[in-house]
Structure 1
Amino acid sequence: MDKTFIIFKPDCMEKGLVGQVLARFEAAGFSLVGAKMIQLTSEKLREHYAHVADKPFYPEIENFMSSRPVVVAALKGEGVVAKVRELLGPTDSTKAPQGTIRGDFGTDMMVNVVHASDSDENAKIELARFFEESEIYG
């Protein structure tokens, strides 16, 4: 079975949507195999967003993502990476159709409820970045 990495972003936490969003993932047949609440640090965010950390907009991402504790999670299921991204809709919430998580709950390109791994390879990297092996059950 495949696994993916999820961050329930600060807007998701602020609006109390973690349960609703997780319920959508579970209804789609995915299992929660790891979860914890953490405060994202500058160091962890620079590592996670290394591909854009040198861009002029990066400080805004860091400020937003560190604005409150978040929940990080590991989901397991057949084809979970692609299917979760389909459930989320486009990264830009303004372009996400109703019925998708971002279309229903997101605001814009950054305030978009959930981060999800974009490939099987990145899922492995991101899971290892945020979880010890002993923290994932399945």
Structure 2
Amino acid sequence: MPYPKEETTLILFKPDCVRKNLSGAVLKRFLDEGFRIRGIKMMQLTEEVLREHYAHIIDLVIDGKPLFPKLSTFMTSSPVVALALSGPGVIVRVRELLGPTNSQKADKGTIRGDFGTDSMMNICHASDSPESADAELHRFFKEGELFTCCMD
């Protein structure tokens, strides 16, 4: 069976990951899978970036309350770490390592199952398709911030 195609994905280490000082432990799990870092930086997100990033759920209402204001408050509560990772089939593989979005439904041994709290405080965001990875990488990394110098 041929190896999956080489891809690059975006992962955001959310404020709960950063505040709990779990960034190193989570990064190690990804690197232990053989993925390569193409870019990494800490940044403070703005509401403007979040509106673009979460445009697909901006009008979502849960239990009679709009989700975005709570999500925006959480995502701007501390800096996040933006990570661009490359590897064969990295998009699917990263999402498998993370586990389901709702940490309460994630198995132990997955990143969210081990460290997450719920659907919002779930340690990381990860791109869910090649198309979203491309858009998200351009959203969080400027021209010249992604590198291929260390790739085999």
TM-score, length of structure 1 as denominator length: 0.98
Please tell me the residue identity of whatever aligns with 1:2.
E
Q: Please, which runs of 5 or more residues in structure 1 have no aligned partner?
A: none
- Mean alpha-carbon deviation: is it higher for 53-62 or for 22-31? 53-62
**Structure 1 residues 6-45: aligned runs within 5 Å:** 6-45=11-50
Runs of 4 or more, structure 1, over 3 Å off, are none
Please tell me the residue identity of whatever aligns with 2:52.
E
Determine the C-alpha separation between the residues in 2 that align with 1:76 and 1:52: 27
Please tell me the residue identity of whatever aligns with 1:6.
I
- Mean alpha-carbon deviation: is it higher for 94-103 or for 28-37? 28-37
For the pair shown, the structure with the greater C-alpha radius of gyration is 2
**Structure 1 residues 49-68: aligned runs within 5 Å:** 49-55=54-60, 56-68=66-78
Query: What's 1:113 paired with?
Result: 123
Q: Please, which runs of 5 or more residues in structure 2 have no aligned partner?
A: 1-5, 61-65
Question: Does residue 46 in structure 1 map to residue 51 in structure 2?
Answer: yes
Please tell me the residue identity of whatever aligns with 2:51.
R
Determine the C-alpha separation between the residues in 2 that align with 1:23 and 1:73: 12
- Mean alpha-carbon deviation: is it higher for 49-58 or for 2-11? 49-58
Query: What's 1:88 paired with?
Result: 98
Determine the C-alpha separation between the residues in 2 that align with 1:10 and 1:116: 14
Count matched residues: 138
CA RMSD of aligned residues (A): 0.6
